[in-house]
Chains A and B, each alone.
Chain A
């Protein structure tokens, strides 16, 4: 039982590396292989999540070398995000089958699944590691496979968007590695718990501040927050739709989880106070909420619109982190998970529409509500969730963040939460109008049929999860409550 933890991360990595060799000369095998591996990971992370819910956080010493010297894998309440990662990846893989057959050159399909598995292994590893350098390595595994996946579809804009993404990603990675080096030089350790203990006795202020600032900035670039988001819209709009779902729903969240991992290191350090940083984060988050929603309003391309709405939602999560009260942190934690479900729904549904009709702007997609009623329904449930209307998954996160703002006596930020939701409601109305009430711009739109079952199924399932995620909020809230308590308590 105890070996589930390393297996969950390393099985997909090894399987991903073996995929091209295995699938050589056996077309169609790659998808089944990837599905089997991801199903295994889903099972493993579900078992681990159950254990963390019953017993609290637990560790695994790699190669039986004890913690400060060896590499520690640590599964705490936030690591339960790995279950969401696996479930979404499983649905994305099911959806990919018919999609890639048409969207990708046949020679690239095996590589596509191989990269997705490596991406999955990197993400799981990132959320379960308890070691700073290990965190960097897993982050790079995710990053490198993401750069390649953006370009996998081919075409001039894809390579360019991937290069832009690569430069932004690599600069932030170098910054993060530099700061990990500073922390190592200061404390002589790389284990997170050990670094936190030793930082408490470090007296010189400037290097600790430098490490904190650099790590925060690096992870914010990875998360795609507003002033440093420039790489995100292109990369997320140009990549194939299943990749959008993975990168927009999951990969950007790793930046946020990285922040959640490094703040406790500095919380005990007497040399710096986190309060000014949280203040700055709250403001940056608030600006990002409004700016992302505002840019999304002016997009005609449905995928670009969704990409900007990701920036807005990352803003919500960072705002919740910055407010740093227990309620706001709960909101941020819940929104990390629920936004993953919502964005996956939206991108997969939009991808199905683009796949079936060949059009991608709101103007061209007019009337698709009659041609593809189920997909449109799922997309609109996703859009309702992203607005944050009560019975859906987007509501609890935003509600807790707004409550957190009121609790800490900052009603201005609660207004930002509300205004952001209102702006998003406008583009929801635009979509509704275009899909159902406008006459089609193209006559052949009415002849478009629903996507094949293996694409429609995941979309509908995710749409249902968007509603369930709103109805069953008490589960994630209860799950992350101890971790939130530790964060807010500054331990």
Chain B
């Protein structure tokens, strides 16, 4: 039980990930699906960023008077890239949604099935 409490943040990320996945699968509205996708992405980003944490670590900036331990900067660099990817996917998805709405007049997946 102690282990779980020590890693409560990881449990939270997994929970967040599952919420996002549920929204993507279960919701019919395309914008809600996209929101679910963003929730999943946020959960993964938060997980990777916290994995770079070091107990008592400070920002890894070398300068006069800087002493360790430092937090690992690599996960942050990765997630900046990850966020760029996520933003571009969101932008593309939103523009597709605009196009779908213009053509079909609805954003509900079950109604769109009939429109195909």
Contacts and interface: CB of A to CB of B under 8 A. Distances in A.
A119 to B, nearest CB: 14
Interface in A127-161: 133, 137, 140, 144, 147-148, 151, 155-157, 159-160
B93 A137 contact: no
A131 B114 CA distance: 44
Contact of A133 (B30, B78, B96, B112): B78
Contact of A163 (B40, B88, B96): B96
B24 interface: yes
Contacts of B41: 170, 174
Contacts of B72: 188
B96 A151 contact: yes
Q: How large is the interface on B (under 10, 10 to 19, 20 to 34, 35 or more residues)?
A: 20 to 34
Interface string B72-116: 101100100110010011001100110110011000000010011
B103 A163 contact: no
Contacts of A181: 44, 47-48, 51, 75
Contact of A156 (B17, B75, B88, B115): B115
Contacts of B93: 163, 166-167, 170
A181 B45 CA distance: 9
Contact of B100 (A133, A137, A163, A173): A163
B112 A144 contact: no
Contacts of A9: none
B37 interface: yes
Most chain A C-beta atoms within 10 Å of own C-beta, residue among B47, B97, B99? B99
B96 A166 contact: yes
Given A167-B33, A171-B21, A159 B47 contact: no
Contact of B103 (A140, A156, A178, A188): A156
A190 B48 CA distance: 13
A166 B112 CA distance: 16
Contacts of B103: 155-156, 159
B44 A177 contact: yes
Contacts of A147: 89, 92, 96
A159 B100 contact: yes
A162 interface: yes
Interface string B36-50: 010011011001100
Interface SS of chain A? helix
A433 B104 CA distance: 38
B44 A160 contact: no
Contact of A185 (B30, B51, B99, B116): B51
Interface size grouping (class) on chain A: 20 to 34
B115 to A, nearest CB: 7
Contact of A159 (B24, B43, B74, B96): B96
A156 B99 CA distance: 8
Contacts of A190: 74
B6 to A, nearest CB: 14
A256 B71 CA distance: 36
> SS class of chain B's interface: helix, strand, loop or mixed?
helix
Contacts of B43: 178
A188 B52 CA distance: 9
Nearest to B107: A163
A141 to B, nearest CB: 9
A177 B74 CA distance: 14
A206 to B, nearest CB: 11
Contact of A166 (B21, B44, B74, B92): B92
A284 to B, nearest CB: 20
B100 A156 contact: yes
A360 interface: no
Q: Interface centre among A148, A157, A167, A181, by most B CB within 10 Å?
A: A181
A285 B88 CA distance: 33
Contacts of B100: 156, 159-160, 163
B75 to A, nearest CB: 7
B89 A163 contact: no
A159 B116 CA distance: 11
Given A166-B92, A185-B51, A171 B24 contact: yes
Given A156-B104, A174-B37, A184-B48, A162 B24 contact: no
Contact of B99 (A151, A166, A174): A151
Nearest to A166: B93
Contacts of B48: 177, 181, 184-185
Given A151-B99, A159-B100, A178 B44 contact: yes
Nearest to B47: A181
* 8 tightest Cβ-Cβ pairs between the two chains A and B: A156-B103, A181-B48, A185-B51, A159-B99, A178-B44, A140-B85, A163-B96, A159-B100
22 contacts: A140-B85, A144-B85, A148-B92, A155-B103, A159-B100, A159-B103, A160-B104, A163-B96, A163-B97, A166-B89, A167-B24, A167-B34, A167-B37, A170-B93, A171-B21, A174-B40, A174-B41, A174-B44, A181-B44, A181-B47, A181-B48, A184-B51
Interface of A: 133, 137, 140, 144, 147-148, 151, 155-157, 159-160, 162-163, 166-167, 170-171, 173-174, 177-178, 181, 184-185, 188, 190
